[in-house]
């Protein structure tokens, strides 16, 4: 038995039996070393990828794909917009690359791409109060719509931007040019074929950054334009000529601006709309927006003051909606009006209302372009203000002719009094234009000249029927006396 043991062909492995701990430690350290090396390689590759992404983003010709990555890290809540004026063909791109018609009153959100056809225009009102107005044959993407950043990527054509003053950053990207609003009114023209961009400034200033082989920057002020040619990589600033400032598209926008500043029923003025302010802690995506609202209303002279209480949470703000019909909604029905109010507010005064008219109001908890929950419907009837008293004309007789292309000549007479506060000139593509306007379909121009009796209205669409009226204005948001209505096909 003893002799058989040493002759065994398979001796017991002594290292495994007597010292098991050292091999296990060595194996563990080896695995950890491999993991560390792999992690370092991954970090290195990620750095290369991010660097390339940043560079390609800065130099992307159209900015369409990479513009989103500029702002997607924001955790603030999303805004939306509504098409409030549509003339001609306005389309939105489907996810499969096809296009479909966009109707007035429909909502747009970040990422949506819009285009207009020949002899067409479109106006979008954004939740923060800004307006984005497309000229004909224009294509642009709403790359970002949040309470901290708005980014419009223009691909072709011309867009007029009326920016609501506030805390958010408003950027427009065209080819290799980035325009940052330092004021409220400017236009950007993108010419993809000529590879050029023009920025015309009508109020305050715009910061322009152009990126080619070298980065160039400049600031264009009111009455100036900046042009950038991608081929020569030259950025130049010059004065806007009188003819350029009076061009039809800009005249059309001047009318819209005057109407917006005079009427809080379309989009409230900057003095009456609380500007959305970033909260100390931005709202996280997915933060709940829910609860119940109780609304009350107090009527005043040409205005209604609304107050509400909230049980629950509305981190993305509120929509206040108004109508002459019960239960106004957002997105707005025909005749409904809506304004965006930031989440820290619990009151709002809606001014510019007609005395003696009963209005319905509701407040909604807002989230990403839709209402989560509505308040009760309240009604209020504004009273007559002192400003509506006086020796105002009791009759206005209007005549309209169109002998010049894209223009209508208005002439009128008054009787039974005067027009100490001037006139409101109103037109629409639908019968019965009024002031305040009906959900964006009526356009009004204020002329603070009591002696005025004629006006050449330019920037109209040839071959289109327009309806006109002139009103004696009281200076407080009310028409005292309307003229007769005149319809005409524009030459």
Highest mean pLDDT among 254-258, 296-300, 456-460: 296-300
Classify domain 388-489 at the CATH topology level. Answer: Immunoglobulin-like (2.60.40)
Position 380 scores a pLDDT of: 94
How far is residue 397's CA from residue 465's CA, in Å, rounded to a whole number? 20
* CATH homologous superfamily, domain 290-380: Immunoglobulins (2.60.40.10)
pLDDT given for residue 54 in this prediction = 37
Distance linking the first and last C-alpha atoms of the chain: 124
Q: Is the peptide bond before 331 cis (omega within 30 degrees of 0)?
A: yes
Give pLDDT, residue 283: 40
Q: Identify which of 253, 255, 223, 220 has the alpha carbon closest to the alpha carbon of residue 235.
A: 220
The pLDDT assigned to 440 comes to 59
**C-alpha distances in angstroms, 99 versus 66, 142, 265, 391, 421?**
22, 16, 32, 55, 47
Phi, psi values for residue 41, rounded to 5° = -60, -45
Residue 5 pLDDT: 45
Q: Is the pLDDT of residue 172 over 90?
A: yes
The burial of 27, by beta-carbon neighbours within 10 Å (0-12 exposed, 13-18 middle, 19 or more buried), is given as exposed
| Rounded-to-10 torsion of CA 241, 243, 245, 248 | -160
Measured distance CA(379)–CA(381) in Å, rounded: 7
Confidence (pTM): 0.54
Answer whether 206's CB lies under 8 Å from 181's CB.
yes
Least confident of 31-45, 61-75, 253-267, 475-489: 61-75
- What's the confidence (pLDDT) of residue 246? 80
Residue 44 confidence (pLDDT): 60
Is 170 in contact with 205 (CB distance < 8 Å)?
no
Q: Give the model's pLDDT for residue 378.
A: 96
For the stretch 395-446, pLDDT in tens is: 999 999 988 888 899 999 999 889 988 899 999 888 988 887 765 567 878 8
Architecture of domain 70-262: Sandwich (2.60)
Residues of the chain with CATH 2.60.40.10: 290-380, 388-489
Split at pLDDT 50, 70, 90, the class of 477 is low
10-14, 320-324, 458-462: lowest mean pLDDT where? 10-14
Q: What SS3 class is residue 181?
A: strand
Running DSSP on this structure, what letter comes out for residue 392?
Answer: B
Average pLDDT over residues 163-182: 87
Q: Strands, E, within 303-407: which ranges? A: 303-313, 318-323, 337-341, 347-351, 359-367, 370-374, 378-380, 395-401
- The 8 Å CB, 24+ separation contacts for 53-56 are none
Tokens at 136, concatenated: 């004909």
Beta bridge partners of 107: 82
Burial of 233 (0-12, 13-18, 19+ CB in 10 A): middle
| Mean pLDDT for all residues in the chain | 78
- Which of 102-106, 230-234, 473-477 is the least confident region? 473-477
pLDDT higher than threshold 60 for residue 292: yes
Question: Which pLDDT belongs to residue 474?
Answer: 79
Q: How far is Cα 276 from Cα 281, in angstroms, rounded to an integer?
A: 14
Model confidence at 197, in pLDDT bands (50, 70, 90)?
very high
Q: Note the pLDDT of residue 64.
A: 39
pLDDT of residue 271: 30
Q: Please give the pLDDT value at position 47.
A: 54
Q: Which of 4-18, 143-157, 317-331 has the lowest mean pLDDT?
A: 4-18
C-alpha 23/C-alpha 367 separation (Å) is 60
Residue 287 has pLDDT above 70, yes or no: no
- Tell me what percent of the residues of the chain surpass a pLDDT of 90: 32
Domain boundaries for CATH 2.60.120.1440 within the chain: 70-262
The more confidently predicted of residues 57 and 247 is: 247
Check whether 346 has a pLDDT greater than 50: yes
Q: What is residue 441's three-state secondary structure? A: coil
pLDDT-based confidence at residue 265 (cuts at 50, 70, 90): very low
Over the stretch 97-119, which tens digit does the pLDDT of each residue have?
899 999 887 889 999 999 999 98
Dist. CA 317–CA 10, nearest whole Å: 80
Dihedral Cα 415, 417, 422, 424, nearest 10 deg: -50
Q: Where are the beta strands (DSSP E) in 358-478?
A: 359-367, 370-374, 378-380, 395-401, 408-415, 423-428, 442-447, 454-457, 465-473
Q: How far is CA 268 from CA 158, 255, 428, in A?
A: 25, 16, 20
Q: Does the pLDDT at position 93 exceed 80? A: yes
Mean pLDDT of 309-327: 88
**What is the pLDDT at residue 406?**
85
């Amino acid at each position: 038995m003893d002799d058989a043991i040493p002759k065994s062909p398979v001796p017991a492995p002594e290292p495994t039996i007597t010292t098991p701990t050292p091999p296990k430690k060595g194996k563990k350290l080896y695995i950890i070393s491999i993991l560390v090396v792999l992690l370092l390689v991954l970090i290195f590759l990620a750095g290369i990828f991010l660097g390339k992404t940043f560079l390609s983003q800065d130099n992307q010709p159209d900015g369409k794909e990479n513009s989103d990555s500029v702002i997607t890290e924001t955790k603030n809540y999303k805004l939306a917009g509504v098409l409030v004026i549509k003339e001609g063909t306005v389309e939105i791109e489907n996810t499969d690359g096809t296009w479909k018609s966009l109707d007035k009153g429909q909502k747009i959100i970040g990422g949506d791409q819009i285009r207009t056809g020949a002899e067409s225009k479109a106006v979008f009102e954004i939740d923060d109060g800004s307006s984005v107005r497309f000229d004909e044959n224009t294509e642009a993407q709403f790359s970002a719509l949040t309470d901290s950043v708005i980014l419009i990527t223009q691909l072709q054509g011309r867009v007029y931007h009326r920016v609501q003053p506030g805390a958010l950053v408003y950027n427009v990207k065209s080819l290799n040019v980035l325009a940052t609003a330092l004021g409220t009114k400017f236009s950007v023209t993108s010419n993809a074929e000529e590879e050029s961009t023009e920025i015309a400034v009508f109020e305050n200033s715009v910061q322009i950054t152009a990126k080619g082989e070298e980065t160039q920057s400049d600031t264009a002020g009111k009455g100036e334009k900046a042009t950038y040619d991608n081929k020569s990589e030259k950025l130049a600033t010059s004065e806007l000529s009188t003819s350029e400032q009076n061009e039809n598209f800009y005249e059309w926008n001047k009318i819209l601006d005057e109407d917006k500043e005079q009427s809080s029923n379309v989009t409230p003025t900057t003095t009456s709309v609380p500007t959305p302010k970033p909260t100390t802690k931005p709202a996280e995506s997915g933060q709940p927006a829910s609860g119940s609202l109780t609304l009350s209303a107090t009527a005043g002279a040409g205005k209604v003051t609304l107050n509400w209480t909230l049980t629950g949470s509305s981190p993305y703000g509120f929509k206040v909606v108004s109508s002459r019909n019960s239960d106004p909604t957002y997105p707005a029905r025909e005749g409904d009006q809506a304004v965006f109010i930031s989440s820290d507010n619990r009151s709002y005064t809606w001014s510019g209302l007609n005395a003696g008219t009963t209005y319905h109001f509701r407040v909604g908890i807002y989230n990403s372009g839709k209402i989560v929950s509505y308040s009760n419907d309240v009604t209020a009837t504004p009273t007559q203000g002192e400003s509506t008293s006086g020796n105002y004309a009791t009759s206005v007789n209007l005549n309209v002719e169109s002998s010049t292309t894209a223009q209508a000549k208005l002439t009128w007479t008054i009787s039974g009094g005067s027009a100490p506060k001037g006139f409101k000139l109103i037109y629409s593509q639908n019968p019965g234009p009024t002031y305040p306007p009906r959900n964006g379909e009526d356009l009004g121009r204020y002329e603070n000249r009591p002696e005025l009796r004629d006006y050449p209205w330019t920037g109209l669409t040839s071959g289109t029927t327009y309806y006109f009226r002139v009103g004696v204005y009281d200076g407080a948001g009310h028409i005292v006396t309307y003229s007769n209505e005149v319809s005409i096909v524009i030459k």
